[in-house]
Amino acid sequence: MSHLLIEGGRPLVGRHKVYGAKNAALPILAATVLARDTFEIENVPDLLDLKIMIAILHALGARVRREGTTLYVDTREIHRTEVPEELMGQMRSSLFLMGPLVARYREATLYRPGGCAIGTRRIDFHVEGLRRLGARVVEEGGRIEARALALRGATIVLPYPSVGATENLMMAAALAEGTTRIVNAAREPEIEDLGRFLNAMGARVYGAGEATIVVEGVRELRGTRHRVIPDRIVAGTFLFAAAITGGDVVLEDARPEHMEAVLDLLATSGAELEVGADTIRLRGKLPPRPLPRVVTAPHPGFPTDLQPQLVTYLTQSEGTSVVVETVFDGRFRHAEELVRMGAKIYVDQRTAVIEGPTRLKGERVRAYDLRGGAALVLAGLAAEGTTRVYGLTHIDRGYMRIEEELAALGASIRRVSATREEEAAG
Ligand code: UD1
């Protein structure tokens, strides 16, 4: 089976250019459905999740063409409002089509979305929010139908600052009659980016990136040009990779202001950081200092999407660290794999206690989700001997050619592709 083959123990050294954020590009692509026009969207990473989103847009009747990192989207001939079930099942972000389709075409048919198995991932905030805006949403046997003669602005109080629900509702509200207030909105940088994109389309979105977002609905939106923000999670993953190998890496095209909690934590652990306007240099110091209590939280807190990478890093620290996962309820699967590599990690529901330092040993390990997979790659970089990481479809959803990018920084890592017979044999 395809896997990454890693010989550990080499410090990462060099410069790495951060590409565009998958989690910003996905809702932005969904938002193009709000207009019948043409768009130019730059800095879109060529990742599996984006391919699925593009396939969904095609299925609806849009045209999407890629030139390098720029996507040219033409939504003038959209003629379908049903997202194919097979594509829905491949990615949770397919849910982003619900708000835009119902707002622009008054109807949307979707199916239960797939996505990383990192806990129970409900969609009730999306559905309830759209109902508040006047949509009729019926769910039957995994099929979700949303309809509305017209959406009307309303105040929506989110029970939790959900990133996806905030984005879905912002998009729907952009074409609703009157004013919508989203209270307890998520404040992630990707939401700010979506707000900028919608406003460039002619929307009136105020406060994207703050806890209350106000959207004054407009009648029509138009095409625009936009550059997607850099991926702070990929940037963070490379910083942890540099730190865990005692390396010296400069990130280019980064947005340090989107990563304050991560940079603070790395500095507290002993890594040396030099932060420029769009560069971050990290020099790793091994062993890192342990961190007595890190709690993942919505932005601007420490991101859950870097929790697995952090846990891997802390296996190298001298002493006991504690990491509490508050965003998702099933996100420590990587810990079991790390333990197989020699880590001492004790997980109790949402809390992981990590005893360091441990010398990680090369093993055959499996990625069960995207960021957990990245964490295993980092473990392989730090381990003694040979590590083989399986489950690459997860990793490829969020990292572009991860082996090439790490090899360019001096890592010994390559992709071993399975023969067709081996793939078929599972
Ligand atoms: C987004 C990110 C994902 C990240 C997560 C949290 C994208 C494409 N994905 O996912 O990488 O890990 O934010 O930063 O941007 N919840 C409900 N009901 C809902 C919606 C959410 O109970 O209707 C719960 C979830 O189960 C979870 C929590 O809210 O426990 C946060 O989820 P949410 O912020 O919505 O994450 P996503 O948008 O799915």
Cα separation, 148 vs 279, in Å, equals 46
Would the CB of 328 count as within 6 Å of ligand 1?
yes
| Local confidence band at 426 (pLDDT 50, 70, 90 cut-offs) | very low
Q: What does the DSSP 8-state code read for residue 149?
A: S
The letter for the amino acid at 99 is G
Q: What percent of the chain has pLDDT over 70?
A: 96
Contact call for residues 107 and 97 (beta carbons, < 8 A): no
Would the CB of 184 count as within 6 Å of ligand 1?
no
Q: What does the DSSP 8-state code read for residue 290?
A: P
Question: CB atoms < 10 A from the CB of 142, how many?
Answer: 12
Q: Is the pTM of this model over 0.85?
A: yes
Contact call for residues 295 and 326 (beta carbons, < 8 A): yes
**Fold of the domain spanning 22-224:** UDP-n-acetylglucosamine1-carboxyvinyl-transferase; Chain (3.65.10)
- What is the reported pLDDT for 387? 98
Q: What does the DSSP 8-state code read for residue 234?
A: H
**Average pLDDT along the chain:** 95
The residue that leads in pLDDT, 82 or 118, is 82
- What is the reported pLDDT for 27? 98
Which of 275, 265, 274 is CA-nearest to residue 311? 265
Contact call for residues 303 and 331 (beta carbons, < 8 A): no
The letter for the amino acid at 334 is H
Would the CB of 96 count as within 6 Å of ligand 1?
no
73-110 tens-digit pLDDT: 999 999 999 999 999 988 889 999 999 999 999 999 99
Residues making up the annotated binding site are 22-23, 92, 305, 327
Ligand 1 atom closest to Cα of residue 327: 30
Q: What does the DSSP 8-state code read for residue 94?
A: G
**CATH number listed for the domain at residues 2-19+230-425:** 3.65.10.10
Length of the chain: 426
Residues 6+ apart with CB under 8 A from 168: 27, 95, 96, 98, 99, 126, 129, 130
Cα separation, 72 vs 44, in Å, equals 11
Would the CB of 306 count as within 6 Å of ligand 1?
no
| Local confidence band at 55 (pLDDT 50, 70, 90 cut-offs) | very high
Which residue has its alpha carbon closest to ligand 1 atom 39? 164
Which residue has its alpha carbon closest to ligand 1 atom 17? 122
Q: Does residue 275 register a pLDDT over 60?
A: yes
Would the CB of 296 count as within 6 Å of ligand 1?
no
- What is the reported pLDDT for 421? 55
| 3-class secondary structure, 192 | helix
Would the CB of 121 count as within 6 Å of ligand 1?
yes
Known catalytic membership, residue 116: yes
Q: Is 306 exposed, middle or buried, given 0-12, 13-18 or 19+ CB atoms closer than 10 A?
A: buried
Q: Does residue 291 register a pLDDT over 70?
A: yes
303-329 tens-digit pLDDT: 999 999 999 999 999 999 999 999 998
Q: Does residue 115 register a pLDDT over 90?
A: no
Which residue has its alpha carbon closest to ligand 1 atom 30? 328
Contact call for residues 114 and 123 (beta carbons, < 8 A): no
The residue that leads in pLDDT, 422 or 13, is 13
Which of 23, 44, 121 for a ligand 1 pocket mutation test, highest count of atoms within 8 Å of Cβ? 121
Ligand 1 atom closest to Cα of residue 163: 34
The letter for the amino acid at 183 is V
Pull the structure tokens for residue 294: 């890190």
Ligand 1 atom closest to Cα of residue 161: 34
Cα separation, 10 vs 336, in Å, equals 24
Region(s) of the chain under CATH 3.65.10.10:
2-19+230-425, 22-224
Contact call for residues 302 and 309 (beta carbons, < 8 A): no
140-188 tens-digit pLDDT: 888 999 999 999 999 999 999 999 999 999 999 999 999 999 999 999 9
